[in-house]
């Protein structure tokens, strides 16, 4: 039986003895899945309650859409979008683990120091802000490092690989070493499904997902309702829950420690069943 991975969250050591579910809360007007967007205060409360009641362990807040070709808001726009939901979480849900999805070091510092955010989730893996790694080291919080080339505006023109799995692994390993040298101990790795990868490359990565265990870090998988699901099934994001659940279950069997999802209940059920399948 493999040793459970652990994270230091606000001075408390927590063990991922079984996979965790991260529920998505988008305060953006243009995220690819319309049902994930919330703007009104009542909608924010409802979404948080749904994530928690259905078994989510982390609330992941995004104020900047990272879908292919997305408009990148200014830092001030991103801050304004995040402020309301961070305030609600800080004052009304103080025990909840909050992840902030941002590539900006200033936003990361502000969210942690002003609102007590627990984790920073950086889709650019530090590439879009050279100050991010040092900021994470200074803040001493868990950091989700995702693989992506370019920016959300350019990433789909940067999909040439000789071996996608090997190159993603090498990129993540190199950056993890940089973080460790800066004193960052809690790194979560994300292969970046859908980011600077074709649908075929996403499935190649998925087939070799267990290879990421070599990094000896918690592994996050985010495929919820993405193009690799709905394009393959010739449907829409709105009709992609079943396909998402299939990939989530496969990911769990290959060693995923955290699933980032829109549909928390379905993911929690996938965890319960796959845990039984992994018992010896």
Q: Considering only CA atoms, which of 116, 93, 102, 101 is closest in space to residue 46? A: 93
Catalytic residue, from 79, 225, 227, 260: name it.
260
Instruction: Determine whether 226 is an active site residue.
Output: yes
How many domains are contained in the chain? 1
| Residue 118 belongs to a domain | yes
Digits of tens for pLDDT over the chain (280 positions)? 456 689 999 999 999 999 999 999 998 775 555 555 677 888 899 999 999 999 999 999 998 877 666 678 899 999 999 999 999 999 999 999 999 999 999 999 999 999 999 999 999 999 999 999 999 999 999 999 999 987 777 888 888 999 999 999 999 999 999 999 999 999 999 999 999 999 999 999 999 999 999 999 999 999 999 999 999 999 999 999 999 999 999 999 999 999 999 999 999 999 999 999 988 7
Catalytic position from the list 226, 227, 265, 272? 226
Answer whether residue 137 is part of any domain: yes
**Token pair belonging to 206:** 């998925």
Q: Domain for residue 6, yes or no?
A: no
Residue 200 makes CB contacts below 8 A (sequence gap 6+) with none
CB 169 within 8 A of CB 124: no
Give the CATH number, domain containing residue 266: 3.20.20.20
pLDDT value of residue 35? 57
Domain assignment of residue 42, yes or no = yes
Segment (H or E) for 52: helix 41-53
Domain membership flag for residue 12 = no
Q: Domain range spanning residue 193?
A: 17-275
Q: Considering the domain boundaries, does residue 56 fall inside one?
A: yes
| pLDDT at res. 154 | 80
Residues near 40 by Cβ (< 8 Å), separated by ≥ 6?
Answer: none
98 touches 22 (CB < 8 A): no
In a domain, 211, yes or no: yes
The answer to whether residue 149 sits within a structural domain is yes
Rounded CA separation 160/53 (Å): 42
* Catalytic annotation present for 10: no
């Amino acid at each position: 039986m493999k040793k459970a991975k652990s994270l230091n969250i606000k001075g408390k050591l927590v063990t991922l003895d079984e996979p965790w579910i991260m529920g998505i809360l988008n305060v953006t007007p243009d995220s690819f899945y319309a049902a994930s967007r919330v703007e009104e205060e009542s909608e924010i409360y409802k979404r948080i309650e749904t994530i928690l009641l259905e078994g989510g362990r982390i609330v992941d807040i995004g104020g900047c859409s990272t879908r292919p070709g997305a408009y990148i808001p200014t830092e001030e726009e991103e801050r304004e979008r995040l402020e309301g939901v961070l305030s609600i979480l800080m004052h009304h849900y103080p025990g909840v683990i909050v992840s902030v999805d941002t590539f900006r070091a200033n936003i990361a510092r502000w969210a942690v120091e002003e609102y007590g955010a627990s984790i920073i989730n950086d889709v650019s893996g530090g590439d879009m802000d050279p100050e991010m790694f040092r900021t994470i080291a200074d803040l001493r919080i868990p950091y989700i490092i995702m693989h992506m080339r370019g920016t959300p505006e350019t990433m789909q023109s940067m999909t040439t690989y000789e071996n996608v799995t090997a190159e993603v692994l090498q990129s993540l390993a190199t950056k993890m070493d940089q973080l460790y040298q800066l004193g960052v101990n809690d790194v979560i790795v994300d292969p970046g499904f859908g980011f600077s990868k074709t649908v075929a490359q996403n499935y190649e990565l998925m087939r070799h997902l267990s290879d990421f265990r070599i990094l000896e870090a918690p592994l996050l998988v985010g495929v919820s309702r993405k193009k690799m699901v709905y394009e393959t099934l010739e449907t829409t994001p709105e009709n992609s829950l079943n396909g998402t659940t299939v990939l989530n279950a496969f990911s769990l069997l290959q060693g995923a420690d955290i699933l980032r999802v829109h549909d928390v209940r379905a993911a929690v059920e996938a965890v319960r069943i796959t845990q039984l399948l992994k018992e010896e």
